Amino acid sequence: MAQVNRATPEQVESALARRVVDLEGFLALISPAAAPFLEPLARQAQCLTRERFGRVVQLYAPLYVSNDCVNACVYCGFNRHNPIRRTTLSLDEAEAEARVLWEQGFRNLLIVSSENPAAVPVSYFEALARRLGSRFPSLSVEIYPLDEDGYRRLARAGVDGVTVFQETYDPNRYRQVHPAGRKADYSWRLATPERAARAGMRRVGLGALLGLGPWRLEAVGLALHALWLERRFWQTQVTISFPRLRPAPGGYTPPHPVSDRELVQLMCALRLLLPNVGLVLSTRESPELRDGLSQICVTHTSAGSRTEPGGYTRPGQADVQFRVEDRRSPGEVAARLLELGVEPVWKDWDAALHDTGP
Ligand code: SF4
């Protein structure tokens, strides 16, 4: 971190003079010295994003299936100690939720669950993926970390992406905020994207929960993790999400809040380091910020999200993980993107494109 804090305006200018930066340039771009250079940084990030991805943003929706959790992450509304209304959807109920999303236009679903393998075992996700596969060409999961065999089972059932946030890359901080349960194991979680990629997942998603630790420290962890995965698993698309901590049941106050300008600096700097990585921004953020960043560097975004199980068919029956900031409907988000000259893409993948066998 000393190198980041010592960076000079000259080093920032030198990094900006390159189209794509190495790790040293990245450290300059996330430094305090780079804060006044946000406009040229954003321009360069926009250029690279358009060159590599075009003027498109892919839309997805989260489908929460359970908020019943055995863990006690101090920042999370689903923490087992919070007295909230808990639900695990039956397969029929989850399918009904998916039907609503399909009717809204989504073809790319992210199945999300809290961590309780007894309530939602791997066989639950296999069965759900098999039910949804004919309607949704792209299914990802954001669930508790599995071993490689678990991910192979999901891949065979039709899941093609895994998202798992490290939450914080600082092992000491990690221990403080994950005091109990399987999630307390930092190394097991850190190696999860690697296990998913080995099992053949087409996409792996990383992220740090912004607000838990100093954002520049998290940025370095994220960058090193993504670089390593890209080099080791060149067939797998890496994406990075930028979840900022939001108000949630339990009332956790983030010790290191990240401002809008800092979030933009982080995302744009990562674009210059990792030009082919997908950058994901969810409905945790305001419509204005999401609209702005969709024109600069975002490649994937959610819309119309509910963060409680059953929220699309029976809103308000269970408690949410966190409150969303962008409450626009999927149609409104898509229409706004078009107004801004960005094409919203509902379907970006078809397994038939991948299946080259006889
Ligand atoms: S972050 Fe995940 S594992 Fe931790 S309490 Fe929340 S739902 Fe459970």
Name the closest-CA residue to atom 7, ligand 1. Answer: 114
Cβ-proximal residues to 6 (8 Å cutoff; 6+ apart), any chain: 31
Residue 353, domain member (yes or no): no
**Residue from 65, 67, 68, 69 to probe ligand 1 pocket by mutation (most atoms less than 8 Å from CB):** 69
**pTM for this entry:** 0.95
Residue 156 belongs to some domain of the structure: yes
Distance of CA 110 from the midpoint of ligand 1 (Å): 16
Residue 159 dihedral angles phi and psi, to the nearest 5°: -80, 135
Best mutation site among 65, 67, 78 for ligand 1, i.e. most ligand atoms within 8 A of its Cβ? 78
The kind and range of the H/E element at 42 are helix 38-53
Query: At residue 205, what are phi and psi to the nearest 5 degrees?
Result: -115, 135
Domain assignment present for residue 162? The answer is yes
Q: How far is residue 292 from each of residues 173, 231, 285, 334, measured CA to CA in Å? A: 32, 30, 11, 14
What is the number of alpha carbons within 13 Å of residue 193 lying toward its C-beta? 24
Decide if 130 contacts 155 (C-beta within 8 A).
no
Q: How far apart (Å, rounded) are the C-alpha atoms in residues 164 and 144?
A: 8
Q: Quick one: DSSP state of residue 81?
A: T
CATH number at residue 313: 3.20.20.70
Q: Could you tell me the distance, in angstroms and rounded to a whole number, from the CA of residue 99 to the centre of ligand 1?
A: 26
Amino acid at 115: E
Nearest Cα residue to 251 out of 85, 86, 83: 83
User: What span, in angstroms and rounded, lies between the C-alpha atoms of 44 and 46?
Assistant: 5
Q: Within 10 A of 111 (CB to CB), how many other CB atoms are there? A: 27
pLDDT of residue 303: 96
Nearest CA to ligand 1 atom 5: 79
* Residue 352 located in a structural domain: no
DSSP H or E run through 240? strand 237-241
The residues, ordered by sequence, that sit 6+ positions from 99 with a Cβ below 8 Å of its Cβ are none
Which uninterrupted H or E stretch holds 139?
strand 138-142
- The per-residue pLDDT for 184 is 94
* Residue 247 alpha carbon to ligand 1 centre in Å: 15
DSSP type of residue 341: T
Which residue has 């490649």 as its token pair?
299
- Ligand 1 centroid distance, CA of 244 (Å): 15
Q: Beta partners for 302?
A: 60
Q: What pLDDT, in 10s, does the model give residues 12-48?
A: 999 999 989 999 999 999 999 999 999 999 999 999 9
pLDDT score of 157 = 98
**Is position 137 within any domain?**
yes
Q: How far apart are CA 85 and CA 89, in angstroms?
A: 13
Please give the pLDDT value at position 357: 38
> Which atom of ligand 1 sits closest to the CA of residue 70?
8
Tell me what pLDDT residue 358 has: 36
Q: Structurally, how many domains does the chain consist of? A: 1
Q: Does any domain span residue 32? A: yes
> Which segments in the chain show pLDDT lower than 70?
247, 349-358
Give residue ranges with CB within 6 A of ligand 1: 69, 71, 73, 76, 78-79, 114-115, 183
Question: Which atom of ligand 1 is nearest to 113's Cα?
Answer: 7
Portion of the chain with pLDDT greater than 70, in percent: 97
In-domain check, residue 355: no
> What range does the domain containing 31 cover?
2-347
Question: For residue 182, is it within any domain?
Answer: yes
